Amino acid sequence: MEERLKSHYESLGRVIRFIRLADAKAAPVLALQIALVGTLVARIENLQPIAFGENGTSEQVGLVAVATLYIASALAAGSVAAWVYKPRHGRTGESLIYFEDIAAISLDTFKGRSKNLSDEEIEDQLLQQVHAVSQIASTKMRKVDCAFVLSGLTVVLWLVLLGWGSI
């Protein structure tokens, strides 16, 4: 039993490292979006004559369309990347491993319940925690992937806008 518990605990540690990895991957996406917006804001005066010039020209319509797509993709990429930081597992009130459940009970209750757990109950609780944390890690990784794809679109649209402002 001790070897199984040790193996489950190591699995939990691996999954927690994936969560940290997802968080670490989301940070550059947010930084990229901020940097792209900053460079466009610094060059906005180059786009103003086109955007606020003669109404209805094909160039103006194109610029507004690209700018709208850029804003939407930048907001989406930033939002999805920021959402990575929000965990998705709530209290169950049952776990003696999950910190939220532990914090929700008194110290005496925690001590009493913990000391009375059998090896099988400890294993069950540990496996439940591995499963719950794996779900969180999976969700975070999918969101990071989505944020990367949206960032790719944002970079392409940013380059188009940057080029437009250089004309």
Residue 150 domain-assigned?
Answer: yes
Tokens of 33: 């979006």
Give the domain extent around 149: 2-91+119-166
- Helices 58-83 and 44-51 pack at an angle, to 10 degrees, of 130
- Helices 2-42 and 58-83 pack at an angle, to 10 degrees, of 150
Residue 98 domain-assigned?
Answer: no
DSSP state letter for 43: T
State the pTM of this model.
0.76
Residues 122-151: pLDDT tens digits?
Answer: 888 889 889 988 998 999 999 999 999 999
Residue 96 domain-assigned?
Answer: no
- Nearest C-alpha neighbor of 153 from the set 41, 22, 29: 29
The total number of structural domains that make up the chain: 1
Residue 114 domain-assigned?
Answer: no
* pLDDT for the residue 6: 85
